[in-house]
Amino acid sequence: MAQSPEEVLSPDHRKLAPKLGLFDATMMVMGGIVGAGIFMNPYVVAQRLHSPVLILSVWVAGGIIAILGAFVYAELGARIPEVGGQYEYLRQSLHPVFGFLYGWALLLVIQTGGMAAVVVTFARYFLELTGLPFSEHWVILVTIAALTGVNCLGVKPGGRVQSVLMVLKIAAIAALVGAGLFLVRAPRPLMHPVLDRPMGGDLIAAFGAAMVPVLFSYGGWQTTNFIASEIRDVRKNLGRALLIGVAAVVVLYVAVNVVCLRALGVTALAATRTPASAVMEIVAGNRGARLIALGIAVSTVGFLSQSVLTGPRVYFAMAEDGLFFRKVASLTRKSQVPAVAIVLQSVWTVVIALTGKYEQILNFQAPIDFTFFGLSAMCLFVLRRRERNDSAKSSGFRVPGHPFTTILFILACWLTVGNALWKYPRNSSIGFAILLIGLPVYALWQRRQTREGRQ
Task: Write the pLDDT tens digit of every residue in 273-332.
Answer: 888 888 998 888 888 888 888 888 888 898 898 899 899 999 999 999 999 998 998 888
**In a 3-state reduction of DSSP, which class is residue 153?**
coil
* Total residues found in the chain within this entry: 455
This prediction's pTM? 0.88
CATH fold for domain 5-450: Amino acid/polyamine transporter I (1.20.1740)
pLDDT-derived band at 9 (thresholds 50, 70, 90) equals very low
Spell out the domain ranges in the chain.
Answer: 5-450
Q: Which amino acid is at 195?
A: L
Residue 159 in this model has a pLDDT that exceeds 70: yes
Q: Is the bond preceding 403 in cis, omega lying within 30 degrees of 0?
A: yes
CA distance 250 to 204: 22
Which of 353, 356, 352, 328 has its CA nearest to residue 342? Answer: 328
CA distance 90 to 99: 5
Task: Write the pLDDT tens digit of every residue in 49-80.
Answer: 888 999 999 999 999 999 999 999 999 998 99
Task: Write the pLDDT tens digit of every residue in 331-356.
Answer: 888 878 899 999 999 999 999 888 87
pLDDT of residue 454: 59
Residue 455 in this model has a pLDDT that exceeds 70: no
Residue 66 CB partners (closer than 8 Å, separation 6+):
33, 215, 218, 219, 221, 246, 249, 250
Mean predicted confidence (pLDDT) in 222-250: 90
Mean predicted confidence (pLDDT) in 26-46: 86
CA distance 182 to 256: 13
CB burial string 307-339: b at 16+ within 10 A, e below: bbbbbbbbbbbbbbbbbbeeebbbbbeebbbbb
CA distances from 347 to 163, 228, 323, 343 (A): 24, 24, 20, 6
CA distance 66 to 70: 6
| Max Cα distance, the chain (Å) | 77
- Contact by Cβ (8 Å): 20, 155: yes
Residue 13 in this model has a pLDDT that exceeds 60: no
